[in-house]
Amino acid sequence: MLLHSHLHLNVQFLPPHSSFPSFPSSKFATVPFPTQIRTISSSSSSSTHRFRRIRNSVTNDKLNESENNKKPLQQTVNRPYPFHEIEPKWQRFWDQHRTFRTPDDDLDTSKPKYYILDMFPYPSGAGLHVGHPLGYTATDILARFKRMQGYNVLHPMGWDAFGLPAEQYAINTGTHPKLTTVTNINRFTSQLKSLGFSYDWDREISTIEPEYYKWTQWIFLQLLKRGLAYQAEVPVNWCPALGTVLANEEVIDGVSERGGHPVVRKPMRQWMLKITAYADRLLEDLDELDWPESVEDYIDVASRKSDLERTELQKEKTGVFTGCYAKNPANGEAIPIWVADYVLGSYGTGAIMAVPAHDSRDYEFALKYDIPIHWVVTPDDKSISESGKAFPGEGIIVNSSNTLMGLDINGLGSKEAALKVIDWAEKSGNGKRKVNYKLRDWLFARQRYWGEPIPVIFLDDSGETVPLDETELPLILPELDDFSPTGTGEPPLAKAVSWVKTTDKLSGRPATRETNTMPQWAGSCWYYLRFMDPNNSKELVDKAKERYWGPVDVYVGGAEHAVLHLLYARFWHKVLFDIGVVSTKEPFQCVINQGIILGEVQYMACRDKDGNLISADSTNMLNEHNLERISEEKVTKSGDSFVLKENPEIRLVARAHKMSKSRGNVVNPDDVVSEYGADSLRLYEMFMGPLRDSKTWSTSGIEGVHRFLGRTWRLIVGLPLSDGTYNDRTVSVDKEPTIEQLRCLHKCIAKVTEEIEGTRFNTGISAMMEFLNAAYKWDNHPKSVVEAFVLLLSPYAPHMAEELWSRLGHTKSLAYEPFPKANPVYLKDSTIVLPVQINGKTRGTIQVEETCTEEDAFALASTDEKLSKYLDGQSVKKRIYVPGKILNVVLDRKNIKVSDYLGGNLVKGQQPSKMVIVDQIHSRGMGIAVMVTNLAQY
């Protein structure tokens, strides 16, 4: 075990269900808690040991330095509950006892399984912001919930650790990417553990470890064997000044992001993966999956765009007339052939039939070079040639008839006309029917150092490509001191001369290694399989384990990965299915894209050119005016708008933006945990709104859920003692709960269960808040009811729940306790509306149980706001109670007020001129008339 702190502990390893000692609350030494406690299974492979040894060696010096500089914990007063003591205590307990370890070889496969997976992160130097835990908290709630329902749960975490940012940092600072990456992983791990996520850290993997990327290289060899990996000359972004190939995201407006140097398109030898060979299956198999509609919407929009639209839409188009013509088979006309920069060679055959009237790019090109524009589609059977723009939509065909060629499609709709032209082309021998996908083969090579080496060599004498034998894997990335570009177009790996120059083991001929590396996507294409069997050195994944765990039941991540990552992972999975490595056609059964968390609302005031404040609604050109940030305390709401408190006439701009350093709106989860606790952060992120929606961060919002947890603590534990500590036990009582308490509890159980299963976590929290409000009105709190509520709370706020469970007298973690089940008996609404009469006249109703006694019914009537005014201070002669039907209260005649009988409508001093029958009281079938001759006597 590695303890990354000055706090030394003697740890006894216990199985997940083992007993734990009773920890008295608020009696802990206030020492800095270790940012990381690592436990290593005795069965862990050398891969796991090696990764953690590297991590330890990288961080020892930094940790020693940070420990010496740490300030002592400041004592904080007025906390709603002692989360600062509870949360480190239970994080330490889970780590030491490996509470969430999923058994491997000794797994009971007779139980149902639940594989819940986060899209594993790239460990950047910035660490987490509060947007990251949104999806992680959701998956953790599901994982904890399913464990308590008796499932074997696989809930792992790892690192997508190769990539461009670490290499760029290495180039700028000379720091090896591995050192940077491992340091970042340590920070991420510390932050994730501080939030109490129930990951099985024994299964932690990283794509940068040779024991992992050995199998990434193995998959590449299988693709190569089946003709799905090939080399081709493709255009890349070449920067002569930097001497390197740049990724698309590194090129802005035709110049390099770094340095602003001109970038040109240059053909280079690249590795490609033939994903197009699986296009049909990738499309057809989507029907069997539970994937979000927002992926579907993107696919629908993207399918309407060609590669040209997606990559070249904003580019100014240039071209040259070749002097050659092609013959249009439909009308025999000569079509001029132009070479244009906006046409991609990889699109179709590399040549396309331009339709300038009905494609925006072709229209711009035709106008620029004065090429004739022929209109053949109109939305209303009328000419639109004077509109000044292309019409790309569907409509009615015009100007499209040639009797000599036997083709007339005038008057047809676009889709019907297209089918008729295809039939004509096949029958006339001018063409044939074919389905073209806009999907392109995957450009797989990168001219980078920090990536998986590609396991092939090239024979020096012939240039022949030779794949490495599988026994030679992993091909380990060589160490380099200089990561800068070569300047010649060769990748940085070309500098590792002793590594590059090799010999073909089979023939003994001299050879050169491939110096391109795999893209970052490679390692993330199959990591979900390795989590099933992370320490297997003999095969990618054990078949029996894959059959049990596959496919992933729920896969949660950002929408930014909804297309490329899922597309590539599905492609690789289908290849592995074809060669018998996996047993399922698809890797992920259900995909959920969580929304993003925007920064807090920012208020901006507008000033005109003279510096005077102007209202935001007085101009539509806000960008022409200066915007000034206004602090929240100077802002008030007026109707649907926000205005200045000191001048309500000035309407402000109120906007929330995606969190970024440049906007200064990033919220660090470490700060939130320090002030409110991890449980409050978890609870708030789930309470903000539906998981899939984007939401705006609000500090006042987290204060609300923090108060809810404080109320929960006080209800169960009680108020603090005079010294600020709390009782070691709870204030619950060993007493049978009432029907009302059981009904309240089981309605909460039913709602929370339903909402977790439907990933509607915010409404599940609302149900627990309603229960707490009701429980505060009870005279006592039966232990059985309190225990059930603590179990309901535990997936959301696990630290507090564990502490309360311990204080309730339990000696095992609640992580594997059965999740409460709602009893249908208590879900039925058995209350009735009971009419209440006063002296025979109905004065109101009360809500009672069907089994309500006369005493309880009268007590409820006496406290009812409407009925009490008739009963207060009155002498009751008798009560007539028919269960479930009516309560009739007969008052003593001596105490009857006339104003009661006249409903209080009598004007003071009014003297009626005749006898009035005021009321009639029905009692046991006898009619009694009360007659008044002179009201003044009352």
Residues 753 and 847 placed together within one structural domain of the fold: no
Distance of CA 591 to the CA centre of its chain: 10
In a domain, 7, yes or no: no
Residues 316 and 424 placed together within one structural domain of the fold: yes
Residues 769 and 852 placed together within one structural domain of the fold: no
**Residue 819 backbone class (left: φ over 0; alpha: ψ -120 to 50; beta: rest):** beta
Sign for the pseudo-dihedral over CA of 298, 141, 116, 52 = positive
- Under the banding of pLDDT at 50, 70 and 90, the label for residue 22 is very low
Report the half-sphere exposure of 565 (CA within 13 A, side-chain side).
23
Residues 742 and 850 placed together within one structural domain of the fold: no
In a domain, 714, yes or no: yes
More confident residue, 831 or 555: 555
Instruction: Return the number of other C-beta atoms located less than 10 Å from residue 366's C-beta.
Output: 21
Residues 320 and 381 placed together within one structural domain of the fold: yes
Q: What pLDDT was estimated at residue 620?
A: 52
H-helix or E-strand spanning residue 465: strand 465-467
- Under the banding of pLDDT at 50, 70 and 90, the label for residue 627 is confident
Q: What pLDDT was estimated at residue 236?
A: 82
- Whether the pLDDT of residue 310 is over 80: the answer is no
- Under the banding of pLDDT at 50, 70 and 90, the label for residue 355 is confident
Contacts 24+ apart (CB under 8 A), 139-142: 139/554, 139/556, 140/196, 140/197, 140/198, 140/682, 140/795, 141/686, 141/756, 141/761, 141/795, 141/796, 142/114, 142/116, 142/554, 142/756, 142/759, 142/795
In a domain, 765, yes or no: yes
Residues 818 and 712 placed together within one structural domain of the fold: yes
Closest CA to 50 of 209, 169, 216, 175: 209
Q: What pLDDT was estimated at residue 903?
A: 43
Percent of all residues in the chain with a pLDDT value above 70, rounded to a whole number = 82
User: Dihedrals φ, ψ of 324, to 5°?
Assistant: -105, 160
- Predicted confidence (pLDDT) per residue in 864-905, tens digit: 888 988 888 888 999 999 998 999 999 987 655 544 444 444
List the CATH number of the domain containing 884: 3.10.20.590
List the CATH number of the domain containing 731: 1.10.730.10
Distance of CA 590 to the CA centre of its chain: 13
H-helix or E-strand spanning residue 75: none
- Three-state SS sequence of 593-624: EECCEECCCEEEEEECCCCCEECHHHCCCHHH
Q: What pLDDT was estimated at residue 127?
A: 86
Do you find a cis peptide bond into 474, omega within 30 degrees of 0? yes
More confident residue, 601 or 931: 601
| Both structure tokens of 386 | 């004077």
- Whether the pLDDT of residue 683 is over 60: the answer is yes
- Under the banding of pLDDT at 50, 70 and 90, the label for residue 653 is confident
- Whether the pLDDT of residue 17 is over 70: the answer is no
Residues 811 and 881 placed together within one structural domain of the fold: no
Q: What CA–CA distance (Å, rounded) separates 131 from 681?
A: 11
Residues 752 and 837 placed together within one structural domain of the fold: no
- Whether the pLDDT of residue 594 is over 60: the answer is yes
Residues 736 and 762 placed together within one structural domain of the fold: yes
C-alpha Rg value of the chain to the nearest Å = 37
- Whether the pLDDT of residue 300 is over 60: the answer is no
Domain that holds residue 655: 597-661
Cβ atoms of residues 4 and 35 within 8 Å: yes
Instruction: Return the number of other C-beta atoms located less than 10 Å from residue 233's C-beta.
Output: 10
370, 403, 428: which is the final residue of a domain?
428
Percent of all residues in the chain with a pLDDT value above 90, rounded to a whole number = 48
Residues 407 and 355 placed together within one structural domain of the fold: yes
Closest CA to 658 of 592, 564, 560: 560
773, 796, 826: which is the final residue of a domain?
826
- Whether the pLDDT of residue 71 is over 80: the answer is no
In a domain, 806, yes or no: yes
Q: What CA–CA distance (Å, rounded) separates 687 from 708?
A: 12
- Whether the pLDDT of residue 256 is over 70: the answer is yes
| Both structure tokens of 446 | 């990168």
In a domain, 36, yes or no: no
Q: What pLDDT was estimated at residue 831?
A: 77
- Under the banding of pLDDT at 50, 70 and 90, the label for residue 907 is very low
- Predicted confidence (pLDDT) per residue in 393-435, tens digit: 888 898 888 888 889 999 999 999 999 999 999 999 888 888 7
Residues 712 and 822 placed together within one structural domain of the fold: yes
- Under the banding of pLDDT at 50, 70 and 90, the label for residue 2 is very low
Q: What pLDDT was estimated at residue 654?
A: 85
In a domain, 100, yes or no: no
412, 428, 444: which is the final residue of a domain?
428
Least confident of 419-433, 538-552, 739-753, 796-810: 419-433
- Whether the pLDDT of residue 673 is over 70: the answer is yes
List the CATH number of the domain containing 415: 3.90.740.10
- Predicted confidence (pLDDT) per residue in 336-347, tens digit: 998 887 776 555
Cβ atoms of residues 592 and 691 within 8 Å: yes
Q: What pLDDT was estimated at residue 9?
A: 33
* Mean per-residue pLDDT of the chain: 82
Residues 799 and 887 placed together within one structural domain of the fold: no
- Whether the pLDDT of residue 41 is over 70: the answer is no
Residue with tokens 């920069």: 341
Question: Which is it for strands 626-630 and 602-607: parallel, antiparallel or unpaired?
Answer: antiparallel
More confident residue, 855 or 627: 855
In a domain, 572, yes or no: no
- Whether the pLDDT of residue 376 is over 50: the answer is yes
Domain total in the chain: 4
Closest CA to 167 of 492, 521, 561: 492
Please state the rounded mean pLDDT for residues 515-532. Answer: 95
In a domain, 1, yes or no: no
**Count, residues in the chain:** 938
